[in-house]
Amino acid sequence: MTVDQADRIEREIAESRVGVWRRFREQPFTGRFLRNRTAVCALGYLVLLVLVAVFAPWIAPHDPDAQNLGDAFADPFSAGHLLGADNLGRDVLSRLIVADRVALSATALALGVALLVGVPPGLVAGYFGGWVDRVVMRISDAVQSLPPLIIAIALIGALGPGLRNSMLALGFIFAPNFIRIVRAAVLEVREETFVEASRSIGTPTLRIMVFRIIPNTLPPILVQISLVAGFSLIAEAGLSLLGLGVQPPSASWGSMLGDGYNFLFQQPWLVVFPGVAIALAVLALNIVGDGLRDAIGRGR
């Protein structure tokens, strides 16, 4: 190997280490995303939801579980209840704020499980190929062929109802999505010159996968995270509505929606507020995902 070849290999390896962060710093990716005002506004709304979740105990005007039957079905904008009260006299605004924390923590748990279960198999399948790839993808196909909520209900039936168990079940269900995304990204990156250069100088396989492959597969993973987060939020709300998620008296947007449905014709606003909260959060996540996808696609 000549000196020039060795220098070129070292430069390519150095570029692979900072490739992803350079995209953020030099604005081929973030610049395009920030020019998408709709996506930036959606991201700002998500940041606001996170701040509300963090400071929920301090900004909630009332104890979300405190019952006052004298205020049952209080109308919105009534004294002491900005968004009214439910059938037990609990403040709707306070319960919405606390439910925001539940929704985000549940979504984070489902995402964490999906990433932990999905990324390593996708990375191994894409990098090694062959029979490893075939086995991983057949398992992924088998899981994806089954209805997601049916699998979730079956797993919750085995593990027991509750927020943690429902999110663990959802995480395993969404893992095949990450397996496919990561595998496709790795198949594209593994043939790049800097990966070949790393192999040629004897870099260990694990180091190549962690420090060369994964950083360069982050953009499509970020898009998938935003989309799966929206699906997780909807699924959590649906499971809580069915009584398989958050258990009373804890508040979640799904359980509030289910409780309000029982009084739909008596006080329809009990359904409107949690429904709007779910819709806005999912819409914001999808808009951010679309913005990330557009920013990545235009850079190729």
Q: How far is CA 169 from CA 223, 251, 254, in A?
A: 22, 20, 17
Residue 37 has pLDDT above 60, yes or no: yes
Residue 207 has pLDDT above 50, yes or no: yes
Backbone angles phi, psi at 268, to 5 degrees: -65, -20
210-260 confidence digits (pLDDT tens): 777 887 777 788 888 888 888 888 887 877 777 777 777 778 888 888 888
Q: How far is CA 99 from CA 92, 93, 107, 185, in A?
A: 10, 10, 12, 36
CATH for the 20-64+85-298 domain, from 2.60.40.420, 1.10.3720.10, 1.10.540.10, 3.40.50.10490: 1.10.3720.10
Give SS3 for 85: strand
State the pTM of this model.
0.77
Rounded average pLDDT over 54-68? 84
Cα torsion 179, 180, 183, 185: sign: negative
Backbone angles phi, psi at 91, to 5 degrees: -70, 125
Residue 20 has pLDDT above 60, yes or no: no
Residue 48 has pLDDT above 90, yes or no: yes
* Residue 102 token pair: 């539940």
Cβ atoms of 214 and 123 closer than 8 Å:
yes
What are the residue boundaries of the structural domains of the chain, listed by start? 20-64+85-298
* Closest to 102 (Cα-Cα) out of 57, 141, 136, 67: 57
Residue 57 has pLDDT above 70, yes or no: yes
Q: In the prediction, which pLDDT does 3 show? A: 44
- Alpha helices by DSSP H, listed for the chain, are 3-26, 30-34, 37-54, 56-59, 92-128, 130-144, 148-159, 163-189, 193-200, 205-208, 218-241, 253-261, 269-298
DSSP for 177-194 reads HHHHHHHHHHHHHTTSHH
Residue 78 has pLDDT above 50, yes or no: yes
Residue 205 has pLDDT above 80, yes or no: no
Half-sphere exposure of 110 (CA within 13 A, CB side): 31
Q: In the prediction, which pLDDT does 46 show? A: 92
Q: How far is CA 56 from CA 2, 99, 167, in A?
A: 62, 9, 21
Q: In the prediction, which pLDDT does 28 show? A: 59
Give SS3 for 267: coil
Give SS3 for 104: helix
Residue 17 has pLDDT above 70, yes or no: no
Q: In the prediction, which pLDDT does 11 show? A: 54
The residue with greater pLDDT, 22 or 122, is: 122
* Residue 54 token pair: 């963090």
86-144 confidence digits (pLDDT tens): 878 888 888 899 888 888 888 888 889 999 988 888 888 888 878 888 888 888 888 77
Strand partners, 89: none
Name the CA radius of gyration of the chain, rounded. Answer: 23
* CA separation for the pair 149, 112 (Å, rounded): 19
Cβ atoms of 222 and 292 closer than 8 Å:
yes
* Residue 95 token pair: 């319960």
* Closest to 183 (Cα-Cα) out of 128, 227, 230: 128
